[in-house]
Amino acid sequence: KQEVTQIPAALSVPEGENLVLNCSFTDSAIYNLQWFRQDPGKGLTSLLLIQSSQREQTSGRLNASLDKSSGRSTLYIAASQPGDSATYLCAVSSGNTGKLIFGQGTTLQVKP
């Protein structure tokens, strides 16, 4: 059974720092891994999707990497800003129906 774990559960950093969020999964047979952002009281916004054949994806200050063999992904946020404060969730898709298995999330606070 696929399990997804995110460490740390919470993170607080000063503005301007570069930071890394971690995601691990137990079964390497995945189609893709997705990173989402969740603001308080809101739904999830898709940030990056990495296909199983890819090593990384970039969008602006965000870079996500995937090491399928070791069951790990990282989300790198460069030059963090207070507006980056949110909960970040990773999820893996293993079947042909797009069903996602989610980690518990990392709540990030960027202090001005």
Q: Least CB distance from residue 3 to other proteins, whole Å? A: 10
Q: Which residue's CB is nearer to other proteins, number 11 or number 100?
A: 100
CB-count burial class (<10 Å; 0-12, 13-18, 19+) for 85: middle
Residues contributing to the site for other proteins (CB under 8 A) = 4, 9, 31-32, 34, 36, 41-46, 49, 51, 89, 91, 93, 96-100, 102-105
Of residues 71, 68, 69, 61, the one with CA closest to residue 20: 61
Task: Round to whole Å and give the CA distance between 15 and 35.
Answer: 22
Q: Least CB distance from residue 19 to other proteins, whole Å? A: 20
Q: Least CB distance from residue 16 to other proteins, whole Å? A: 28
Tokens coding 91: 């999820």
